[in-house]
Amino acid sequence: MLAIDAAAYRSPWRRHHPAAKALLAGGLLGCALLLPPWPGAPVTAAVTLAVALCWARMPPRTLLRAARIPLGFVLTGALTFLVTVGPDGIGWADGGAGRAGEVVARCGAAVLCQVLFAGTTPLADALPRLTRLGLPAALVEVTALVYRLLFVVLDTARRTRQAQAGRLGDRSLRAAWRSLGGLGSAVFVRSFDRARRLEAGLAGRGYTGSLPVVVAEIPLRTPFLAAAPLPAVAAASVTFALGNLL
Amino acid sequence: MSAVLSVHDVAYAYEGAPPVFTGLSLHVPPGRVLVLLGPNGAGKTTLLRLMTGGLRPLRGEIRLHGKPVSYSRRGLTELRTHVQLVLQDPDDQLFAADVAQDVSFGPRNLGLPVAEVRRRVAEALAAMQITELADRPTHLLSFGQRKRVAIAGALALRPQVLVLDEPAAGLDPAGVTALLETLEELRSAGTAIVASTHDVDLAHRWAQDAAVLAEGRLHTGPAAELLADESLLRSARLTPAWGPAVGRLLRRHGLLPPGAPDPRTPADLDRLTG
Amino acid sequence: MSAVLSVHDVAYAYEGAPPVFTGLSLHVPPGRVLVLLGPNGAGKTTLLRLMTGGLRPLRGEIRLHGKPVSYSRRGLTELRTHVQLVLQDPDDQLFAADVAQDVSFGPRNLGLPVAEVRRRVAEALAAMQITELADRPTHLLSFGQRKRVAIAGALALRPQVLVLDEPAAGLDPAGVTALLETLEELRSAGTAIVASTHDVDLAHRWAQDAAVLAEGRLHTGPAAELLADESLLRSARLTPAWGPAVGRLLRRHGLLPPGAPDPRTPADLDRLTG
Amino acid sequence: MHIAEGYLPVSHAIAWSVAAAPFVVHGVVTLSRRVAADPESKLLLGACGAFCFVLSALKIPSVTGSCSHPTGTGLGAVLFRPPIMTVLGTITLVFQALLLAHGGLTTLGANVFSMAVIGPWVGYGCYLLTRRLGLLPAVFAGAFAADLVTYCVTSAQLALAFPDPQGGFAGALAKFGGVFAVTQLPLAVSEGLLTVLVVRLLRTS
């Protein structure tokens, strides 16, 4: 279905507490954002990549493909650094390539940290724990429902799209628009139908307004928690050492 | 044998529609399988929802252990801890992100302490033979697995009556056989099972009791007898089952002793002829 | 008899998953019913989507009238005007506000003139015997009616091959019988029909040809023969059908002449014994 | 178009989070009240959030660029009012960041501000202003405006973070506005049209 999500459930880190993983990935993210981009960003990226591939054993394909979507945005945005627009019109920017490189490198490192966390932390483990952070139960329950329903609706949308293609719904631009309108409204109607049916189904299970669940216990204080800050410390140390050398 | 759950002269109509039925009665004894048969649109699901408190009868009453059900929040809670409905489409019932969380909802919602909830969840998953799915995300399960999780969610309340709407729909033959075996264990442990279907062969293979819904009337009786009544089945727009037809033919030719039961599956035939 | 559509040594795997199958071949002759049997998860739907251009084989090819299908926009249009897929759940296929509009989707995408589109819609609705539903909103129809509308939507492209995924799922016995009769008319008019199912009794009753998908391999042959092979069915996690088992028993006791076909429905038995 | 993880300097990321926070808090309070008064609406809101996420996963024909997708915030604001849409939009953004790596967690505040705060309010405002022209024109205006203003605000956020060495904020705004206009302008029109198609189909059925 969604590659990052599926990888998270298969991850060997599944048994570690989400907070410990947040500490690990968050520390690296902090390095990506706060250290001087050169050499901080490449160092952080390298450390994150090593952690993701060797320690968390994320499938390289998933990692690579996940990075593709933000890359489009990052590269398009970076183009703007190459030129300058001032009172004299458009011209090549001095040092623009350097600035673009810095932003792309920092972003690349940060996206890797993001995918490291998302690809090892199943939302099923993380979402119900959000109430412990003080978020209101209503918000957490709606969020959990969105998470459950989005896969059901995504499946519907995918099959409807296939059915439209089968009936030549992508043959011309006109057909594609007709398809998209039909798909949008079909998905809309069926999302709300889902809500209505789930309401009836849950009423039978005793739903009267709240959706309490018991979450599997995951121990927080483990050797993993102790090791969690180490990658960030390593990235920072190497960056400073290299910074002094260069 | 006294009924756990019974339906007394119940009438129901959806708003702005003609009545689905005007006076049905049905008794559910413990530890037996009762199959409710009828064509689509006859009101099978409506009857099941009436029996489980999802709808309130316009007339007549539903009784739990002989006592009329009250439709206060408290009365409904009592009914639902004893009688649980499993819908045809598991996606209409599963809301949580992973299996153990979903199954924990019923007992947790009852206000049971966490340790007891965990015990109930483990017990329900074991009964459905899906203990290994406990920490799997709901959306990555197959249809058959989701169906089992939905049933486990009902079992976690330790109901005395388990009501299933079209339990075999969408399952392949191996899946149906495995599910029937699991349900048979529940039944022999004392749970009453009520299931709707329009598959007469399935009903004949599985049930001890049958109820056929035809033109707003309910015919009840032992499954072996009721499902051999072809004119009744025809009036309910159902097709005759193989088992009774084959049994009749074999008896006529002296290949089956007069008192012997009809074959339930094609495999029974092979056994019959050695 | 030359095949309208054929599958040649086709392999397919979903991304990041083991191959569904590594080398399947299948021929679809005109004017016959071919039933594709197999347990859930064996790849029936995958094979149907490969045959209708929804998926592209990793190896091997799909041929239309003996010519390999090209996956250009033009090639796919050609394939899809000749071969149409009807999904199991009609709701996945209905997305317009009313029936006529929905059925017109395919012909309009072909760019046909309005008058011709209207003619096609009327013809498809007539073929499915739902002309009177033309201006009804799709979401107010019963499941069986929606299923017919979904098939009409495919027929509006006048396909030579109609591919149906689990056509009987969710229909009651009367609905199945009526649908089979309607499809039989299409077949006798020359349309080839391919349908997937895991109901061996249904396959035996309906199909001339069968294909059984077991452990990544496809076994093909005349339905009467293939569906009597219990060890093949078992290897495909399917249960044996009643018809062949009864036929075997009756022949052994001389109640059925050696060359006579197996009974297809329980009603055939009554006819047999008078 | 969401700002990717790590794109904004830390100070900007924090500032936008602070700017978006009151709106999100207000939205959460509104949502909690609504859910308490009507427990059934919880499931409806869950379905609407799922719809928004799926809508954002649809590809629009003929619009180039992999980061272009409808936002659904205009339609959502018209259906549920902007405060609720702010919460649903935030949830959608969190799931896009975690499930698709689309948009980030440190940039969540900035993305929420443009897509889930300004978008719904402006879209809803335009819907109200044009309502007397008829439902469909008003729906178009709402969806178009919500989408367009989201893109404008995002460009401004980027320009504030990376002012042009010569042209300053204005120069940078022109640059960011320019490169993303290629995908975002047709997209805004597309989303308006799509929303009209959806609403028209819904109304006739």
pLDDT digits (tens, 9 = 90+) for D181-196: 777 788 888 888 888 8
Compute and round to an integer the Cα radius of gyration of chain B. 19
Kindly report the nearest CA distance between residue A161 and chain B, in angstroms. Answer: 20
CB-CB under 8 Å, C87 with A159: yes
Contact list, C171 vs chain B (CB under 8 Å): 40
pLDDT digits (tens, 9 = 90+) for D88-104: 999 999 999 999 998 99
The residue in chain A having the minimum alpha-carbon distance to the alpha carbon of residue C138 is: A186
Q: Say whether pLDDT at A88 is over 80.
A: no
- Percent of chain B at pLDDT above 90? 86
Q: How many CB pairs under 8 A join C and D?
A: 10
Subunits next to C (3 or more Cβ pairs <8 Å) are A, B, D
Asked if D204 has any chain C CB less than 8 Å from its own CB, the reply is: yes
CB-closest option in C173, C199, C269 to B245: C269
A159 inside domain? yes
Which two three-digit tokens encode residue C141? Answer: 């129809």
CB-CB under 8 Å, B93 with A204: yes
A214 inside domain? no
Same domain? A117 vs A140: no
Contact list, A154 vs chain C (CB under 8 Å): none
Kindly report the nearest CA distance between residue D122 and chain A, in angstroms. Answer: 22
Kindly report the nearest CA distance between residue B175 and chain C, in angstroms. Answer: 9
Structural domain harbouring A92? 3-121+219-244
CB-CB under 8 Å, A189 with C109: no
Q: B31 near B190, Cβ under 8 Å?
A: yes
In 3-state terms, what secondary structure has residue B85?
strand
The sign of the dihedral angle between the CA atoms of B15, B21, B27, B33 is: negative
| Rounded Cα–Cα distance for residues C234 and D95 (Å) | 44
A11 inside domain? yes
Asked if B174 has any chain C CB less than 8 Å from its own CB, the reply is: yes
pLDDT digits (tens, 9 = 90+) for D10-67: 999 999 999 999 999 999 999 999 999 998 889 999 999 999 999 887 776 655 444 5
Does the pTM of the predicted model rise above 0.90? yes
Contact list, C97 vs chain D (CB under 8 Å): 201, 204-205
Interface test with C, best of B36, B140, B172, B252 (most C CBs within 10 A): B172
In 3-state terms, what secondary structure has residue B198?
coil
Residues 221-240 of C with CB under 8 A from B: 237-240
A211 inside domain? no
CB-closest option in A3, A163, A172 to C93: A163
pLDDT digits (tens, 9 = 90+) for B55-105: 999 999 999 999 999 999 999 999 999 999 999 999 999 999 999 999 999
Give residue C273's pLDDT. 62
Burial class of residue B156, CB neighbours in 10 A (0-12, 13-18, 19+): buried
DSSP class of residue D118 equals: I
CB-CB under 8 Å, C95 with A160: yes
Same domain? A26 vs A107: yes
The residue in chain C having the minimum alpha-carbon distance to the alpha carbon of residue B250 is: C250
Asked if A144 has any chain B CB less than 8 Å from its own CB, the reply is: yes
pLDDT band at A78 (very low <50, low <70, confident <90, very high): confident
Residue C220 C-alpha from the chain's centroid: 15
CB-CB under 8 Å, D97 with A66: no
Asked if A216 has any chain B CB less than 8 Å from its own CB, the reply is: yes
The residue in chain C having the minimum alpha-carbon distance to the alpha carbon of residue A176 is: C109
Q: D3 near A73, Cβ under 8 Å?
A: yes
Asked if D61 has any chain C CB less than 8 Å from its own CB, the reply is: no
Subunits next to A (3 or more Cβ pairs <8 Å) are B, C, D
Same domain? A159 vs A72: no
A95 contacts: CB under 8 Å, gap ≥ 6:
none
Same domain? A234 vs A117: yes
Average per-residue pLDDT in chain B?
93
Kindly report the nearest CA distance between residue B243 and chain C, in angstroms. Answer: 8
Same domain? A65 vs A165: no
Interface test with A, best of D166, D180, D204 (most A CBs within 10 A): D166
Same domain? A54 vs A10: yes
Contact list, A111 vs chain D (CB under 8 Å): 4-6, 101, 104
Q: Say whether pLDDT at C240 is over 50.
A: yes
| Rounded Cα–Cα distance for residues C176 and C167 (Å) | 8
| Rounded Cα–Cα distance for residues D85 and D94 (Å) | 14
The residue in chain C having the minimum alpha-carbon distance to the alpha carbon of residue A167 is: C106
Contact list, A86 vs chain D (CB under 8 Å): 164-167, 171
Q: DSSP of chain A, one letter per residue?
A: --HHHHHHHH-GGGGS-HHHHHHHHHHHHHHHHHS-HHHHHHHHHHHHHHIIIIIS---HHHHHHHHHHHHHHHHHHHHHHHEEEETTEEEEPTTHHHHHHHHHHHHHHHHHHHHHHHTTS-HHHHGGGGGGGT--HHHHHHHHHHHHHHHHHHHHHHHHHHHHHHTTTTSSHHHHHHHHHHHHHHHHHHHHHHHHHHHHHHHHTT-SS----PPPP--SSSHHHHHTTHHHHHHHHHHHHHHHH-
Across the beta sheet with C192-197, the strand order is C83-86, C161-165, C192-197, C33-37, C209-214, C217-222
A210 inside domain? no
Interface test with A, best of B105, B132, B146, B158 (most A CBs within 10 A): B105
Contact list, B173 vs chain C (CB under 8 Å): 39, 198-200, 237-239
Give residue B10's pLDDT. 96
CB-closest option in C40, C248, C253 to B172: C40
Same domain? A24 vs A39: yes
Give residue D66's pLDDT. 47
Please give the domain boundaries of chain C with CATH numbers for all domains.
5-223 (3.40.50.300)
In 3-state terms, what secondary structure has residue D201?
helix
CB-closest option in C16, C49, C109 to A167: C109
Short-list C181, C211, C179, C217, CA closest to C194: C211
Asked if B139 has any chain A CB less than 8 Å from its own CB, the reply is: yes
Residue A243, number of CB atoms within 10 A of its CB: 14
Q: What is the mean pLDDT of residues C26-43?
A: 94
Average per-residue pLDDT in chain D?
89
Same domain? A176 vs A192: yes
Asked if C96 has any chain A CB less than 8 Å from its own CB, the reply is: yes
Beta strands at C33-37 and B192-197: parallel, antiparallel or unpaired: unpaired
pLDDT digits (tens, 9 = 90+) for C138-190: 888 999 999 999 999 999 999 999 999 999 999 999 999 999 999 999 999 99
CB-CB under 8 Å, A85 with D6: no
Same domain? A158 vs A114: no
Asked if B91 has any chain A CB less than 8 Å from its own CB, the reply is: yes
Q: Say whether pLDDT at A86 is over 80.
A: no
C52 contacts: CB under 8 Å, gap ≥ 6:
A166, C79, C80, C83, C84, C85, C163
Contact list, A212 vs chain B (CB under 8 Å): 105, 108-109
Q: How many helices (H) and strands (E) does chain C have?
A: 12, 10
Asked if A190 has any chain C CB less than 8 Å from its own CB, the reply is: yes
Amino acid at C17: A
Same domain? A196 vs A225: no
Q: Say whether pLDDT at C63 is over 50.
A: yes
Q: How many CB pairs under 8 A join A and D?
A: 256
CB-closest option in D10, D171, D180 to A85: D171
| Rounded Cα–Cα distance for residues A15 and A26 (Å) | 18
| Rounded Cα–Cα distance for residues C163 and C151 (Å) | 10
Subunits next to D (3 or more Cβ pairs <8 Å) are A, C
Contact list, A206 vs chain B (CB under 8 Å): 77, 80-81, 106, 109-110, 157
pLDDT digits (tens, 9 = 90+) for A31-50: 999 999 989 999 999 999 99
Beta partners for residue C122, in sequence order: none
Q: Say whether pLDDT at C88 is over 80.
A: yes
Q: How many CB pairs under 8 A join A and C?
A: 68
pLDDT digits (tens, 9 = 90+) for B116-150: 999 999 999 999 999 999 999 999 999 999 999 99
CB-CB under 8 Å, C52 with A166: yes
CB-closest option in C85, C91, C108 to A166: C85
Give residue D201's pLDDT. 75
Contact list, D204 vs chain C (CB under 8 Å): 97-98, 137
Q: B4 near B65, Cβ under 8 Å?
A: yes
A64 inside domain? yes
In C67-122, where do the E strands start and end? 67-68, 83-86
A229 inside domain? yes
C19 contacts: CB under 8 Å, gap ≥ 6:
C11, C12, C13, C58, C216
Short-list A142, A244, C152, A108, CA closest to D89: A142
Asked if C91 has any chain D CB less than 8 Å from its own CB, the reply is: no
Domain count, chain A: 2
CB-CB under 8 Å, B175 with C266: no
What is the torsion angle, in degrees rounded to the nearest 10, for the CA atoms of residue D187, residue D188, residue D189 and residue D190? Answer: 50
In 3-state terms, what secondary structure has residue B97?
coil
Residue C99 Cα distances to A91, C94, C146, C149, C180, angstroms = 59, 8, 9, 7, 21
DSSP class of residue C129 equals: T
Asked if A205 has any chain B CB less than 8 Å from its own CB, the reply is: yes
Average per-residue pLDDT in chain A?
91
| Rounded Cα–Cα distance for residues D201 and C35 (Å) | 37
Amino acid at D50: A
In 3-state terms, what secondary structure has residue B71?
coil
Q: How many CA atoms lie within 13 A of B224 on its CB side?
A: 9
Same domain? A173 vs A236: no
Same domain? A43 vs A149: no
Residue B12 Cα distances to A199, B21, B38, B40, B80, angstroms = 21, 6, 17, 17, 20
Short-list D48, D62, D50, CA closest to D194: D62
A168 inside domain? yes
Q: What is the mean pLDDT of residues B141-168?
A: 96
Asked if A159 has any chain B CB less than 8 Å from its own CB, the reply is: no
